[in-house]
Amino acid sequence: MDKNKIEQLRKIKQRLYLGGGIDRIEKQHAAGKLTARERLAFLYDEDSFQESNLFMRHRCSHFDMHEKEMPGEGVVTGVGMISGRPVYTASQDFTVAGGSVGEANAQKIHQVMDDALKTGDPFVFINDSGGARIQEGVDALSGYGGIFYRNVKLSGVVPQISIIAGPCAGGAAYSPALTDFIIQVRHEGQLFITGPNVIKQVTGEVISAEQLGGVDSHAYYSGVVHFVAENDREAIALTQRLLSFLPSNNLEDPPYYPPAGDYQIADDPSLNTIVPDDPKKAYDMRDVISRIVDSSDFLEIQEHFAPNILIGFARLLGRSIGVVANQPKVKAGVLDIDSSDKASRFIRFCNAFNIPIVTFVDVPGFMPGVDQEFGGIIRHGAKMLFAYSAATVPKITIIVRKAYGGAFLAMCSKDMGADRLYAWPSAEIAVMGAEGAVNVLYRKDLQDSDAPDELRNRLVREYKETFANPYIAAARGYIDDIIEPAETRSILSGSLEILKAKRELRPQKKHGLIPL
Ligand code: HXC
């Protein structure tokens, strides 16, 4: 072959690899961001990335687009290996037309998403874009429509992770919203539907872009974002860590990582004293979890949103588990609207991807309050019951302390399909707390009594002696065993080993109707 042809190919490719060119790359770096390709170099195992459609470019002729020198498209797409497993990606290239999404740009993204579905491999979308390409009008909208449609088709088949590494505004924000996990980079990542200017025009409210679409807004208040990263490198490292807990698709099991060093399932006597004697005293449920899982390695999700419940991934003897746990340190671990939403979504993710669910219970009940009732706690709390009941993966529940009322059921009691339910001796299982119960049961006696306080104290003590322990529930068969806290790790591991073979068939239907 004419060697000039080889030279020409090399030259064209080199030019395309530079995206928007040196100046724009420098601008990108000056803005604290890596380029689309640099991000992928960190994401993938060395030399494993296979790029697709490098040469593709727009065919728009409006607004002098045909005259603009535009090398390739504003997105790098392809597949590579992460810890030896294939993962597809679309990494928006802000140096080319601001990473804006037009017809060709979207087609590149559609193609990798279709490929991810074909081979059953996860999809990682790195967002850094000005949104729909304005010059391409309805073609740009259609392009986004195709992305959303595929996000939904992929949902529950392969894990989807979005990184918000730059702007992601307007309708574009709905692609990350349709994926399983969102990682937002502090400062550089911006995520909102309508920007500060529009909000000011429409409602008169004044807010900065950082306040509106930054990590604090989404990690603490909206709950849209699952992880905050300080920079691109950290976001990529988080993506890799997250993927290590997940199977490539819904037909596989998560990868097995035998624990280094702690193969023996030693008892941890410190667990026997971790729950304070005073039932009103708080403790950090994270201390319980970290003493039980492999290498104390717990990847907490949505750490700052609804912190009265903890969710996250860990491993037991090398196998992934999803952990759901009340956090007595915050609002006494009560279930409210946001914590119900947070946990239910996670339970459904674990179920879709064959990850057993381990639930730690210390819950005083559902949150009372007008705002909770008006906000629909009935609808949101019901999601917990729905998600647990519908989940067919192995489900193991440990009652650590309080398990009161409907919240006892909503934290996966045996009636909600828990395969094993264990209680620590500190467990208290009852319809409601002692004071409330005595007030209802003995209102008349207390009214008529000459010494109502004395009587109330005695009745509360009696109620507690009857119900503030796990023995009645165990006698009725609602608990499989009352265990020493120190043995929890070995008992959980043993149960999960047996439950690996669990098969549960449900009636065929299109889908259930979770109360959204
Ligand atoms: C076409 C765009 C673009 C867009 C940015 N660019 N966004 N081109 N369509 N949506 C171009 C700019 O013209 C510029 O090109 C280059 O990208 C870099 O942009 P800058 O503005 O110089 O960068 P910066 O100052 O960092 O500002 C970034 C930005 C701003 C905040 C994202 O570009 C911006 O506000 N863009 C418009 C955002 C927007 O309104 N998008 C549409 C949203 S509606 P040159 O050649 O001049 O360097 C939407 C609907 C989706 O997305 C609906 C889907 C359902």
Report whether pLDDT(75) > 80.
yes
Report whether pLDDT(265) > 80.
no
Catalytic residue among 156, 318, 406, 494: 406
Residue 67's pLDDT is: 63
* C-alpha to C-alpha distance for 277 and 279, rounded to whole angstroms: 6
Residue 69's pLDDT is: 67
Q: Are 3-244 and 269-432+469-499 in the same CATH fold?
A: yes
Q: Which of 100, 136, 175 to mutate for ligand 1's pocket (most ligand atoms within 8 Å of CB)?
A: 100
Summarised one tens digit per residue, pLDDT across range 103-134 is: 999 999 999 999 999 999 999 999 999 999 98
Domain ranges of the chain: 3-244, 269-432+469-499, 434-467
Report whether pLDDT(327) > 80.
yes
**Is 437 annotated as catalytic?**
no
**Ligand 1 within 6 A of CB of 319:** no
**Is 170 annotated as catalytic?**
yes
Q: Whose CA is nearest to atom 44 of ligand 1?
A: 170
Q: pTM for the complete prediction? A: 0.95
Q: Whose CA is nearest to atom 15 of ligand 1?
A: 97
Residue 512's pLDDT is: 95
In one letter, which amino acid is 516? L
**Is 381 annotated as catalytic?**
no
* C-alpha to C-alpha distance for 32 and 36, rounded to whole angstroms: 13
* C-alpha to C-alpha distance for 102 and 108, rounded to whole angstroms: 10
Residue 432's pLDDT is: 84
Instruction: Show the tokens assigned to 207.
Output: 């807010």
pLDDT band at 264 (very low <50, low <70, confident <90, very high): low
The least confident of 63-67, 366-370, 406-410, 471-475 is 63-67
Residue 9's pLDDT is: 93
Residue 434's pLDDT is: 84
pLDDT band at 318 (very low <50, low <70, confident <90, very high): very high
Whether the Cβ atoms of residue 164 and residue 225 lie closer than 8 Å to each other:
yes
**Is 406 annotated as catalytic?**
yes
Mean pLDDT of 319-341: 97
**HEC per residue, 26-75:** HHHHHCCCCCHHHHHHHHCCCCCCEEECCCCCCCCCHHHHHHCCCCCCCE
Whether the Cβ atoms of residue 358 and residue 398 lie closer than 8 Å to each other:
yes
Whether the Cβ atoms of residue 271 and residue 288 lie closer than 8 Å to each other:
yes
Summarised one tens digit per residue, pLDDT across range 77-113 is: 999 999 999 999 999 999 999 999 999 999 999 999 9
Mean pLDDT of 162-180: 95
pLDDT band at 64 (very low <50, low <70, confident <90, very high): confident
8-state DSSP, 219: I
Report whether pLDDT(136) > 70.
yes
In this structure, are strands 167-169 and 190-192 parallel, antiparallel, or unpaired? parallel
8-state DSSP, 367: P
**Ligand 1 within 6 A of CB of 172:** yes
> Which residues, 6 or more positions from 264, have their beta carbon under 8 angstroms from its beta carbon?
none
Q: Return the ligand 1 atom nearest residue 145 CA.
A: 55
Residue 471's pLDDT is: 94
Instruction: Show the tokens assigned to 78.
Output: 């392809």
Report whether pLDDT(262) > 60.
no
Percent of the chain with pLDDT strictly greater than 90 = 83
Q: Return the ligand 1 atom nearest residue 134 CA.
A: 9
Q: Return the ligand 1 atom nearest residue 132 CA.
A: 52
**Ligand 1 within 6 A of CB of 97:** yes
Backbone angles phi, psi at 235, to 5 degrees: -60, -40
Report whether pLDDT(187) > 90.
yes
**Ligand 1 centroid from CA 103, angstroms:** 16
* C-alpha to C-alpha distance for 311 and 286, rounded to whole angstroms: 10
Residue 140's pLDDT is: 94
Give CB contacts under 8 A, 24+ apart, made by 431-437. 431/404, 431/405, 432/365, 432/404, 432/405, 433/364, 433/365, 433/404, 434/460, 434/463, 434/464, 434/467, 434/468, 435/460, 437/463
CATH topology (fold) of 3-244: 2-enoyl-CoA Hydratase; Chain A, domain 1 (3.90.226)
| First CA to last CA distance, the chain | 62
Residue 71's pLDDT is: 79
In this structure, are strands 395-404 and 357-363 parallel, antiparallel, or unpaired? parallel
DSSP secondary structure string for all residues of 145-179: HHHHHHHHHHTTTS-EEEEE-SEEEGGGGHHHHHS
Backbone angles phi, psi at 506, to 5 degrees: -115, 165
Class of domain 269-432+469-499: alpha beta
* C-alpha to C-alpha distance for 453 and 457, rounded to whole angstroms: 6
> Which residues, 6 or more positions from 45, have their beta carbon under 8 angstroms from its beta carbon?
80, 81, 82, 83, 84
Q: Which of 70, 134, 201 to mutate for ligand 1's pocket (most ligand atoms within 8 Å of CB)?
A: 134
Among 53, 43, 49, 51, which Cα is nearest to 73's? 53
Q: Which residue has the higher pLDDT, 469 or 245?
A: 245
Summarised one tens digit per residue, pLDDT across range 379-405 is: 999 999 999 999 999 999 999 999 999
Report whether pLDDT(361) > 80.
yes
Report whether pLDDT(484) > 70.
yes
* C-alpha to C-alpha distance for 318 and 312, rounded to whole angstroms: 16
3-state secondary structure of 101: strand
Residue 59's pLDDT is: 79
| Burial classification of residue 155, based on how many CB atoms lie within 10 Å of its CB (0-12 exposed, 13-18 middle, 19 or more buried) | middle
Average pLDDT, the chain: 94
**Ligand 1 within 6 A of CB of 143:** no
Q: Which residue has the higher pLDDT, 209 or 372?
A: 372
Q: Whose CA is nearest to atom 24 of ligand 1?
A: 98
